[in-house]
Amino acid sequence: MATIPLDTAPPKAPTALEWIRKNLFNNWYNSLLTIAGVTLVYFALVSIITWAFTSANWRPITVAPLLYLVGQYPREELWRAGLSLLIISLLLGMSWGVWRNYVRLFAIFLGVLFAVLAVFPLDTPTITVPIRLVMAASAGMVFLGYRLGRIKTILGRYVATLWLVAMILIPLVILPGFSNSSVLPKVPTTVWGGLLITMILSVGGIVLSFPFGVLLALGRRSSLPVVKWFSIIFIEIVRGVPLVTILFMFSIILALFLPTEARIDRVVRALMGIVFFSAAYTAENVRGGLQAIPPGQEEAAKALGLKNFQITSLIVLPQALRLVIPTTVGQFISLFKDTTLVYIVGINDLLGIGNAILNLNPEFVRLQMEVYLFIAVIFWIFSYFMSYASLQLEKALGVGKR
């Protein structure tokens, strides 16, 4: 009978000193690099922190925080934006409760951020007590949602449905209102702005471009030549030109191809451009997934007597879409960042509002660094959490591990 020798015990975890020696000073040039790196990081951090707390002037941000959030949205109708925020906070909290890891970090971050914003001292009269209360309530909603999401009977698909309802309700009913309503008077999109527009364009772009992208990907593999060639030409043309040209096409050129009496809202036109552009890229990602599905799957489904539509929707697509989650999330992140380009066609998104504020007051004219850094941080946070969630999802699904 074989006995296990004692010295095969698992190695001990390295002590801090051992770790430092192994990872930072394992030979002479790594030691030099480490010293150079530490010096670089030290001086960079010191100069950035000194700048941020002494010479930087954050007035352009603290003086008008509402502008960054909602633009010129009428202040007497602001409760509608507040209501939307509360709904989204609740849903975010529920998503955290239901899906745990993917949303946890982001939900906690936003909850804490709302709580901080509720009490953050700002010397501007625009931030009134009700606004601070809404912020506090949003923080509460995130945690209330979490408690709700933990209840066993609440399932992922209910939360997903609620998200879908909210995504239709908020940008189409609550925010724009109706022209002959006294409760929800019409608010034209020309006064929407800031993070509100950025969010509507990116969420709208993601939600709408995905189905189009899947259809185009299926179209490209279709056995019908007309559908196939239309898809190929569409995808290749759109992918061959910059997004600016597409946005420009929708904002200016499109009007020349529509009857003179047809006027499309300019935010909708920008959204159309983004969807148009993103769908082509999504299509190519999805095609990659479709190609990875072994033909045996389809043949087996056929042998079982499934119809073409059933084969695609029940056998091929579910497997293909799961494979392309990482690339699709990457595509969504770049879509989110690309929404800044609508500034070029004159829409006041976050970047446009930043520029408007810089021109607002002569004393802000040289404070571009502060404003753009602030905007950069906002984008960074959202993009980072998206890629974080994608990484978690990738791990959970074991993509690339089989």
Partner 1 sequence: MLRAEQPSRKIPIWRDERALKVVAQVISSLAILGLLYWLIDNFLVITQQRGMPLTYGFLKEAAGFPIKESFIPYDSTMSFGRAVLVGLINTLVVSAGGILFATLLGFIIGLMRLSSNWLISRIALAYIEFHRNIPLLVLLFLWYFGIFTKLPGVQQSITIPEILYINQRGFYLIWPRLVEGGMIFLAFSLTGVILAVIAWVVLRHIREVRGKETYFGRVSLAILVLVPLMGWFISGSHPVQLDVPILQGYNFQGGLRLTTEFTALLIGLAMYTSAFIAEVIRSGIQAVNKGQIEAAKAVGLNSTQVLMLIIIPQAMRVIIPPLISQYLNLTKNSSLALAIGYQELFAIGKVTINQAGRAIPVFILIMATYLIISLITSLILNIYNKRVQFIER
What does the binding site for partner 1 look like in residue numbers (CB under 8 A)?
A: 23-24, 26, 30, 33-34, 37-38, 40-41, 223-227, 230, 237, 239-245, 248-249, 252-253, 256-260, 333, 337-341, 343-344, 351, 366, 368-369, 372-373, 375-376, 379-380, 383-384, 387
Q: How far is the CB of 363 from partner 1 (least distance, A)?
A: 16
Distance, CA of 141 to CA of 90 (rounded, Å): 5
Cβ atoms of residues 387 and 329 within 8 Å: yes
Q: How far is the CB of 184 from partner 1 (least distance, A)?
A: 33
Dihedral sign for Cα 72, 77, 78, 81, please. negative
3-state secondary structure of 125: coil
Nearer to partner 1, 189 or 231 (CB): 231
Q: How far is the CB of 84 from partner 1 (least distance, A)?
A: 24
Nearer to partner 1, 118 or 333 (CB): 333
Dihedral sign for Cα 133, 134, 135, 138, please. positive
Nearer to partner 1, 297 or 383 (CB): 383
Nearer to partner 1, 106 or 163 (CB): 106
Q: How far is the CB of 169 from partner 1 (least distance, A)?
A: 28
Q: How far is the CB of 354 from partner 1 (least distance, A)?
A: 8
Q: Tell me how far CA of residue 285 lies from CA of 188, 276, 312, 329, 347, in angstroms.
A: 36, 15, 17, 10, 29
Nearer to partner 1, 241 or 268 (CB): 241
Q: Which amino acid is at 50?
A: T
3-state secondary structure of 72: coil
Q: Give the distance, in angstroms, between the CA of residue 357 and the centroid of all CA atoms in the same chain.
A: 24
Nearer to partner 1, 241 or 300 (CB): 241
Distance, CA of 334 to CA of 349 (rounded, Å): 16
Q: How far is the CB of 259 from partner 1 (least distance, A)?
A: 5
Q: How far is the CB of 312 from partner 1 (least distance, A)?
A: 14
Q: Find the radius of gyration of the CA atoms of the chain.
A: 26
Nearer to partner 1, 1 or 226 (CB): 226
The candidate with the shortest Cα–Cα distance to 145, out of 85, 107, 92, 83, is 92
Q: Degrees (nearest 5) of the Cα angle 82, 87, 92?
A: 120
Cβ atoms of residues 59 and 367 within 8 Å: yes
